[in-house]
Amino acid sequence: MRLIETIEELKQWVSENKATGAGIGLVPTMGFLHEGHMKLVETAKRENDVVLMSIFVNPAQFGPNEDFERYPRDMERDQELAQTAGADAIFAPSAGEIYPRESAIVISAGRLADQLCGKSRPGHFDGVLKVVTKLFHLSEADRAYFGQKDAQQLAIIESLVEDFNFPLEIRRVETVREPDGLAKSSRNIYLTGQERAEAPHLKKALEMGKQLAIGGMDPIPAMTDYLGENCSGTIDYIQLLSYPDLTENVTGEAILALAVQFEKARLIDNLLFTIKGN
C-alpha cells in the first residue's frame, strides 16, 4: 500500500492508474479508523480496481469551539487497518498542502444545512463540501463511499454531485454498529464508562420512534421522554424529515435522526425508512 502526502504524488498515482484503465474508488476519512471505515473500503474494493483512502482531519469543518485539536489521530494504526481492509493507497496531506491559501470562494450547503447537525454546527457542511470537492477532483474517482451514519453529510454530498454534474457516483454504505447497537464512531472513545453504558439507548429510542412514525404518530415526545430517563447527555435534536431532501413534508423516504451531547462526545445516529402516504 502506498502512502501519498503531496498533490503532485497523488496526480502521479492517479495518472498511472488511469493509464491502465483502472476504476478508482475513493474513501474520504478523517482517520482514527474503525469498522465503519473498514466496511467503506471493503465495499469500494468490491466495486473498483483500486481504492484510495484519504486521511485528513479537515480544519475547515470544525467550529472555533469544536474538537479539531483533540480529534483522535493515529496514523500508524490507520495505515495497518487501511491495508488490512484492502486500500491500495492512502492520501494523507498536511493542511498546507490542501489549503495553500485562503480561498475567496465559498461552497455553501444552503438550506440543506438548516436542519439536524447543520443548526448547531454553523459552517460545518460548507467545510465538508470544500474538502470533498478537492478530493473528488484530485482523485478523479469513479465512485466515492460514505456511511449512512452521517446521513445529512451524505445527502448534501449527493446533492453537490448531482446538481453540479461531478463525474462520479456517490455510494451509500450502511452504518456499522457495536453488538449492543451503538453506531461505530471515532468519537466513541471520549465516552466515560457510564456514558458508554447509556449510549445504546440512542438506537433504542430511534427504533421506538420509527414504529411510531410508521404508524402515523409524532415520535419526538416519546423519544425525548425515553432519552431523558435513560441518558445523562443533553439532547441536541430529534428530527423526522424527508430524505434526502431534508424537508418537513414527510411521506416516502424519511430520516429519523438525533444528536446527544455527552460530557466530551457528541453522538449522532439515525434510521432511514419509508412512511406510506394516506
The residue from 28, 209, 233, 244 that contacts ligand PAF (CB under 6 A) is 28
Residue of 186, 239, 230 lying closest to 77 (CA atoms):
186
Decide if residue 30 touches ligand PAF (CB under 6 A).
yes
Q: CB of 202 within 8 A of CB of 260?
A: yes
Give the integer Cα–Cα distance in Å for 210 and 202. 12
CA 251 distance to own-chain centroid = 24
Q: Which is nearer to ligand PAF, 48 or 54 (CB)?
A: 54
Question: Per rule CB under 6 A, is residue 185 in the interface with ligand PAF?
Answer: no
Residue 200 interacting with ligand PAF (CB under 6 A): no
Q: Where are the beta strands (DSSP E) in 5-119?
A: 24-29, 50-55, 89-91
Is 14 within 8 Å of 33 (Cβ atoms)? no
Rounded to 10°, the helix 75-85/35-47 angle is: 40
Residue whose CB is less far from ligand PAF, 68 or 226: 68
Specify whether 201 is catalytic.
Answer: no
CB of 158 to ligand PAF, least distance (A): 12
152 makes contact with ligand PAF (CB under 6 A):
no
DSSP bridge partners of 173: 147
233: which residues sit within 8 A by CB, 6+ positions away?
195, 198, 227, 260, 261, 262, 263, 267
> Which candidate in 34, 37, 124, 137 is catalytic?
37
Angle between helices 200-214 and 220-230 (to 10 degrees): 160
User: Footprint of ligand PAF on residues 123-142 (CB under 6 A)?
Assistant: 128, 131-132
270 in contact with ligand PAF (CB under 6 A): no
> Binding to ligand PAF by residue 150, rule CB under 6 A?
yes
Minimal distance in Å, beta carbon 213 to ligand PAF? 26
Q: Least distance from C-beta 267 to ligand PAF, angstroms?
A: 14
Is residue 87 close enough to count as binding ligand PAF by CB under 6 A? no
Compute how many residues bind ligand PAF; rule: CB under 6 A: 10
Residues of this chain that interact with ligand PAF (CB under 6 A) are 28-30, 58, 61, 128, 131-132, 150, 153
Active-site positions read 37
